């Protein structure tokens, strides 16, 4: 009889990271009846996220339906944050305080039940690599969970490949040769991910394996590059891990109105504009988008959010859209367009009326768009999104560009103040949208996106590439058991 094994997942307390970790845990549990997984949930002491809290509540409520998946909220330690003023130092102090909580849980709960199940290892989020120290204390292997794609995983090893940190390349040659990209990577698109890439590289090489939320047919070049590099541990692309029910119960009445409007549009005729939980624009930029949509003549569904108020990071809704849109825009476009606030993204992408997606290029949004076969026009904003946009447009060839080097997280190093991005003109936006919505038979982007839609689904089926990598990962776990 197969041993009962326990894995401990430690995700970063952000929606995209938490959902991907839980989805991966559920995937593993499907194939191994003697496996149980504990997900240790940290709650950030600042900027509480209502969506994250709601998701955590749903996990706790569903525990009785799947007793082998145990979400455990960790207690907060606000005293550890005393004297810390900036977000980076607060977050590092927060992680250090949570290491103690993780250690305590393992001592009190898992070791106590050691005669029932064996601790097989820790699966640690890419931002929480310091938690690998706890795994080492318990003498069990640590695996890295990488929530983005395989190409950017290679990009974060700049420190190893070039002997310096990624941030040091800002004044170097305009392009870099990164093994996980088939084309030279522009320095100006280097991501601001908040990681010490040298430390990340060191920690990754210590891991017994790396789970990546991607699938082989999406990133064959990147995955083959990583697997050939002897410094890397084994790579397990097990995706796409998606939360296709993320929109449920948020606003059912509004969702109904949106889907009913889409029901009345021709197939593949609507361009959907949505920029994630942090995507908002200044009033001048909003007007340029509106001019582009109106002049293009394309049907559109536009998720328009209001920038955070001073001192906040949370987007809000406009109470009066006419205060930010061009005069008369809503009246002139009421036949072909609909402007909304919050959007049930997966439900919209799944609708047959949607034929294109103007996106900020967050990795989860990319995977969702591919899953539903909707081509993308790239408008990245921060973090890894510029790198993702480059990969989609230049490396894989399944997207068109609106503005690839648009950044909302650039800082003026002299004055330590944010750099306001340049306004993207209506002409640039219209060209991107028109190209995106080209339905001619010669549109290779649309054809390739449809092909990847089928491959993304087959990857998770019995015998598919991701299914097989799940099996390989579990063999790794069993081989490393002591």
Give yes or no: residues 35 and 108 share one domain.
yes
| Residue 142 to residue 207: CA distance in whole angstroms | 5
Q: Are residues 125 and 63 in the same domain?
A: yes
| Alpha-carbon gap, residue 132 to 206, rounded angstroms | 9
pTM of the complete model: 0.92
We report the CATH number of the domain holding residue 302 as: 3.40.50.2000
Residues 448 and 318 in one domain: yes
Q: Render each residue's pLDDT in the chain as its tens digit; 482 residues.
A: 456 889 999 998 888 888 899 999 999 998 888 899 999 998 776 655 667 777 777 787 776 777 899 999 888 766 666 666 666 677 777 888 888 888 888 888 766 655 456 889 999 999 889 899 999 998 999 999 999 999 999 988 764 555 445 555 555 557 888 899 999 999 888 887 666 777 888 899 999 999 999 999 999 999 999 999 999 999 999 999 998 875 454 678 889 999 999 999 999 999 999 998 778 899 999 999 999 999 999 999 999 999 877 666 677 888 899 999 999 999 999 999 999 998 999 999 999 999 999 999 999 999 999 999 999 999 999 889 999 999 999 999 999 999 999 988 777 666 667 778 899 999 999 999 999 999 887 789 999 999 999 999 999 999 999 999 999 999 999 998 86
Same domain, 278 and 205: no
- In degrees rounded to 5, what are phi and psi of residue 355? -120, 0
Same domain, 450 and 465: no
- Whether residue 433 contacts residue 377, with contact meaning beta carbons closer than 8 Å, is answered with yes
User: Which pLDDT does position 159 carry in this prediction?
Assistant: 46
Distance, CA of 297 to CA of 337 (rounded, Å): 9
Per-position b or e across 44-62, b if 16+ CB within 10 A of its CB: bbeeebeebeebbeebeee
Q: At what angle do helices 50-62 and 15-31 cross, to 10 degrees?
A: 20
Q: Check residue 302 and report its DSSP letter.
A: E
Predicted local confidence at residue 183, as pLDDT? 93
* Domain shared by 474 and 423, yes or no: no
Residue 84: what pLDDT? 62
Active site residues: 17, 125
Q: Give me the domain span that covers residue 293.
A: 252-456
- CA-based R_g, the chain, Å: 23
Q: How many domains does the chain have?
A: 2
The secondary structure element, H or E, covering residue 36 is: strand 35-41
> Whole-angstrom Cα distance, residue 16 to residue 19?
5
Q: Bridge-partner residues for 145, per DSSP?
A: 125, 211
**Same domain, yes or no: 175 and 262:** no
Q: Determine the Cα–Cα distance for residues 188 and 174; give it in Å rounded to an integer.
A: 7
Are residues 59 and 113 located together in one domain of the fold? yes
Q: Compute the mean pLDDT over every residue in the chain, rounded to the nearest whole number.
A: 87
457: left (phi over 0), alpha (psi -120 to 50) or beta: alpha
55 and 90 within one domain = yes
Q: Where are the beta strands (DSSP E) in 87-227?
A: 118-125, 142-146, 175-176, 185-186, 210-212
What is the SS3 assignment for 437?
Answer: coil
Note the pLDDT of residue 115: 47
State the residue for tokens 């250090």. Answer: 96
Return the residue matching tokens 């920038």. Answer: 307
User: Are residues 154 and 200 both part of a single domain?
Assistant: yes
Structure tokens at 88: 């980076």
* Residues 31 and 80 reside in one and the same domain: yes
Q: 94, 45 in Cβ contact below 8 A?
A: yes
Is residue 172 located within the same domain as residue 283?
no
Check the CA dihedral 423-427-430-431 and report its sign. negative
The pLDDT value recorded for residue 333 is: 97
- Token pair 């825009």 is at which residue? 329
Q: How far is residue 147 CA from its own chain's centroid? A: 6
């Amino acid at each position: 009889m197969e041993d009962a094994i326990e894995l401990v997942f430690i995700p970063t307390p952000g929606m995209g990271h938490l959902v991907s970790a839980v989805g991966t845990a559920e995937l593993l549990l499907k194939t191994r009846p003697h496996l149980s997984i504990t997900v240790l949930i940290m709650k950030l002491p600042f900027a509480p996220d209502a969506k994250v809290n709601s998701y955590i509540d749903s996990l706790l409520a569903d525990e009785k339906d799947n007793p082998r998946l145990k979400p455990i909220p960790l207690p907060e330690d606000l005293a550890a944050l005393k004297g810390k003023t900036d977000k980076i130092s607060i977050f590092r102090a927060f992680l250090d305080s949570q290491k103690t909580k993780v250690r305590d849980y393992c001592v009190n709960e898992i070791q106590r039940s050691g005669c029932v199940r064996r601790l097989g290892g820790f699966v640690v989020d890419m931002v929480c690599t310091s938690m690998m120290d706890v795994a080492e204390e318990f003498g069990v292997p640590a695996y890295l969970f990488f929530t983005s794609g395989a190409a950017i995983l290679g990009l974060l090893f700049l420190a190893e490949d070039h002997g310096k940190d990624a941030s040091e390349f800002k004044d170097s040659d305009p392009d870099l040769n990164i093994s996980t990209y088939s084309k030279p990577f522009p320095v100006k698109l280097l991501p601001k991910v908040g990681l010490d890439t040298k430390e990340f590289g060191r920690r990754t090489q210590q891991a017994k394996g790396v789970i990546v939320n991607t699938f082989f047919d999406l990133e064959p070049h990147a995955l083959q590059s990583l697997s050939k590099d002897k410094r890397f541990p084994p790579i397990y692309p097990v995706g796409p891990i998606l939360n296709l029910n993320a929109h449920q119960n948020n606003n059912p009445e509004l969702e109904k109105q949106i889907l009913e409007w889409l029901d009345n549009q021709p197939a593949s005729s609507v361009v959907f504009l949505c920029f994630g939980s942090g995507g908002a624009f200044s009033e001048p930029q909003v007007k340029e988008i509106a001019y582009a949509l109106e002049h293009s003549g394309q049907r559109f569904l536009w998720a328009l959010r209001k920038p955070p108020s001073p001192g906040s990071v949370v987007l809000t809704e406009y109470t009066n859209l006419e205060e930010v849109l061009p005069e008369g825009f809503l009246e002139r476009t009421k036949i072909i367009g609909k402007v909304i606030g919050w959007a049930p993204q997966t439900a919209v992408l799944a609708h047959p009326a949607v034929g294109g997606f103007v996106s900020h290029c967050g990795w989860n949004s990319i995977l969702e768009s591919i899953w539903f076969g909707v081509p993308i026009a790239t408008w990245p904003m921060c973090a890894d999104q510029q790198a993702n946009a480059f990969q989609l447009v230049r490396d894989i060839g399944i997207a068109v560009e609106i503005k690839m080097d648009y950044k909302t997280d650039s800082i003026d190093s002299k004055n330590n103040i944010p750099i306001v991005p340049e306004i993207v003109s209506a002409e640039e936006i219209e060209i991107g949208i028109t190209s995106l919505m080209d339905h001619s038979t010669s549109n290779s982007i649309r054809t390739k996106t449809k092909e990847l839609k089928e491959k993304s689904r087959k990857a998770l089926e019995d015998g598919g590439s991701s299914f097989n990598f799940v099996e390989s990962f579990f063999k790794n776990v069993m081989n490393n058991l002591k």
